[in-house]
Each structure stands twice: as structure tokens, then as C-alpha cells.
Amino acid sequence: MTKPLETENIELSDKQKKAQRSRSIAIAVVLVVLVAIFYFVTILKMGPAVMVRPL
Amino acid sequence: MSMVDSLDKEQGGEQSDILGSLAMPSDYFALLKPRVMSLVVFTALVGLMLAPGTIHPLIAVLAIVSIAIGAGASGALNMWYDADIDAIMTRTAKRPIPAGIISPSAALTFGLVLTFMSVMMLGVIVNWLSAALLAFTIFFYAIVYSHWLKRSTPQNIVIGGAAGAFPPMIGWVAVTNSISIESVVLFAIIFIWTPPHFWALALFKSDDYKKAGIPMMPIVAGNRSTQNQILAYSLVLAPVGVLPWLMGFAALPYAIVSITLGAVFLFFAFRVWQMPSDDKLMVPAKKLFGFSILYLFVLFATLLAEAIWEKLV
């Protein structure tokens, strides 16, 4: 069995930090794109009639 | 050596592999087999453009993106499963897992997440029949081909070829929400094209496959039998390639292109058949392999051009 990982004692090298940052940015970009996709598809599927409603 | 490296060694490396990884996003992108993905995108686009009916341009783009991500997911799952043999073959030794850049567990997680994402996206945004087909395609490539067939039978790429043949059908279903005979013909062209394409490669790369223990046709049945089978499949492929025109969903330019290229394909297959089975350079096999890629690309490009032309006029 492996020991639990103590992340606070780990010091990443500059290369590892750079790689981790790049991966984090890539994940952030993918998440933002997904949000935009689902937002626009929802608007598209609702259609223009969604704006026509009695007050 | 960084502390993570030493932790990796002490703890078996699995828990700290992502934290201390040097993998860049481009390495994860390489896991998706971008070259295979581009062919999938292209054939799926042809299916989508050829299909009767209309689809909103945004939905069409997202359908293609979902299919591309699904294809990438199956590529990642394949690389995870095949990492041991990829390390042996010169063609695949530099892939991210055998090169030690991405850990197997990270690749597996990445592949599974992308599988889930692509199928759900296609289902929610486009329709559930195309999503089901995409899920089946990924299952077929990652489990049926990679897990069951690849290392156990010389018919591996014959049956496994179905996975590569599904994308135009998925593109078609994305528009029509039904499977029709035309989409089956598109499937059949790629399905029958796959054996002569891969066996031509296997003829001049048989040492690599032998080293990795993959029972490709030339290793199991010998070069002569493979040459015969390449010719047999090519004899079937040439007329099947003309079917879109014969069945009325492609026009005269496609007829001219498919008949001409089919004849050239047969010529190259015949040269492979004529080649001595102990040939060292295997030049005819290399030529057939190169031409087979051109054949499929030009056939589908012609279908695409005709579909665009028809929509514009």
C-alpha cells in the first residue's frame, strides 16, 4: 500500500511549476469554452419565441 | 533531483505523477492522435454535408467537435492500453506514455473524461442516436479492437476497421437522426479500404509488428497470403467506391474520380500481388500504402465538394 501523499512538503521544480501552470490554463480555457457553448446552444434551442411573453 | 522525483520513487509514483508531471497541454493533445482525428473530422464532415435535411451551422460545428473529441478519447484509451507495445515499435516509441511524459493512469483518466464529455455533448446538443453511435465507436476501438482483437487475431484490422468507418455515419445521423443505406455505403467504403491500407503497411513494417508480438496478417499467414488478400479486398473496394454515384447520391464528377482512382488502386494492388513475397524493399507495398491515403481523401473530398456545390446552387 502506498503512503498518503504530503503535498505541503513537496517543492516543485521550475519546470514542473511551468508545466502545472500550462495545464491549469488549458483546463480553464476548456471550461470557459464549454460554458460559452452551452450558453449559446441553450439560447439557440429556446429560439426567438422565448422573448415573446406577456408581462 | 526534485523532491517530487524522490517521492515518486519511494511511493511507486502513482499518486504524485500528475502533481510533479512535466507534461504540457501539447503532450495531452498528442494523446488524442491528432492525425487520425483530422481524418475522422473530415469523413464525419462529409457525412454531415451529404445528409438530406438541414442543421443549424452552430449545431453542425459542435457535432463535428464532439465527434473529434470522441475520436481523440478513443485514441487516448488505445495509447493507455497499448503503452507496452508502443514502447517496442520505432513508429510509436516516442508517444507520451512510453516516452514517460504522461503516466498511464493520467492517460486513462483523460480518455474516460473525454469519452463522457463527447458523448454527452453530442447527445444533449445534437441527438441521442448519433451519441449512441459515437459511444459504440469508442467502445469498439478501445475495447473490441485494442483489447480483444489487436493482439489475438490477424483479422484485427479487418473487424477493427469498423471503428474508423463509423464517423461519416455519425455525421449523417447528426442531421437525419436515422441510419439510412447511403450512410451504410459511406461506412462500407472505409471498412473495405482498411485491410489493403493496413496490410500494405504491415508488409514493409512486419519486423516492427513481429517484435511487438502483434499477429498482423504477414506474420501469421505469410506475405504471399497477405498479397492475395490485398488484391481480393481491392477488387471489392473499387466497385464499392463507385456506389455513391450508382445509388444516386453523388454526381458525374464523383463517378469519374471514383472509377479512375479505383482503377489506379487496383493497379497498385496488382503490383503488390506481383511482388516477390521475399522482396526486401517492398516498394510496391509502400506505393500502395501512400496511394490508399490519397484515394480515400480524394473520394471523400469529391463528395464534399459536390455537397457544397449542391447547397450553393
From the candidates A6, A22, A31, A43, which should be mutated to test the interface with B, based on the most B CB atoms within 10 A?
A22
Q: Does residue B249 sit in helix, strand or coil?
A: coil
CB-nearest to B15 from A2, A11, A25 is A2
For residue B179, what is its C-alpha cell?
441510419
Residues in chain B with CB shorter than 8 Å from the CB of A42 are none
Q: What is the rounded distance in angstroms from the CA atom of residue B303 to the CA atom of residue B309?
A: 10
CA angle B110, B113, B115 (to 5 degrees): 105
Q: Which residues contact B149 (CB under 8 A, 6 or more apart)?
A: B155, B156, B159, B160
Residues in chain A with CB shorter than 8 Å from the CB of B59 are 41, 44
Domain residue ranges of chain B, discontinuous segments joined by +? 25-179, 181-313
Q: Which of residues 21-50 of A touch B (CB under 8 A)?
A: 22-23, 25-26, 37, 40-41, 44
Rounded to a whole number of angstroms, the CA Rg of chain A reads 22
The minimum CA-CA distance between B291 and chain A, rounded to whole Å, is 37
Q: What is the CATH number of domain B25-179?
A: 1.10.357.140
For residue B7, what is its C-alpha cell?
517521492
Q: Give, for all 313 residues of chain B, the pLDDT tens digit.
A: 333 344 344 334 444 466 668 899 999 999 999 999 999 999 999 999 999 999 999 999 999 999 999 999 999 999 999 999 999 888 888 999 999 999 999 999 999 999 999 999 999 999 999 999 999 999 999 999 999 999 999 999 999 999 999 999 999 999 999 999 999 999 999 999 999 999 999 999 988 888 888 999 999 999 999 999 999 999 999 999 999 999 999 999 999 999 999 999 999 999 999 999 989 899 999 999 999 999 999 999 999 999 999 988 8
Residues in chain A with CB shorter than 8 Å from the CB of B25 are 22-23, 25-26
For residue B77, what is its C-alpha cell?
484509451
Residues in chain A with CB shorter than 8 Å from the CB of B21 are 16, 19-20, 23
Inter-helix orientation angle B57-81/B156-176, to 10°: 160
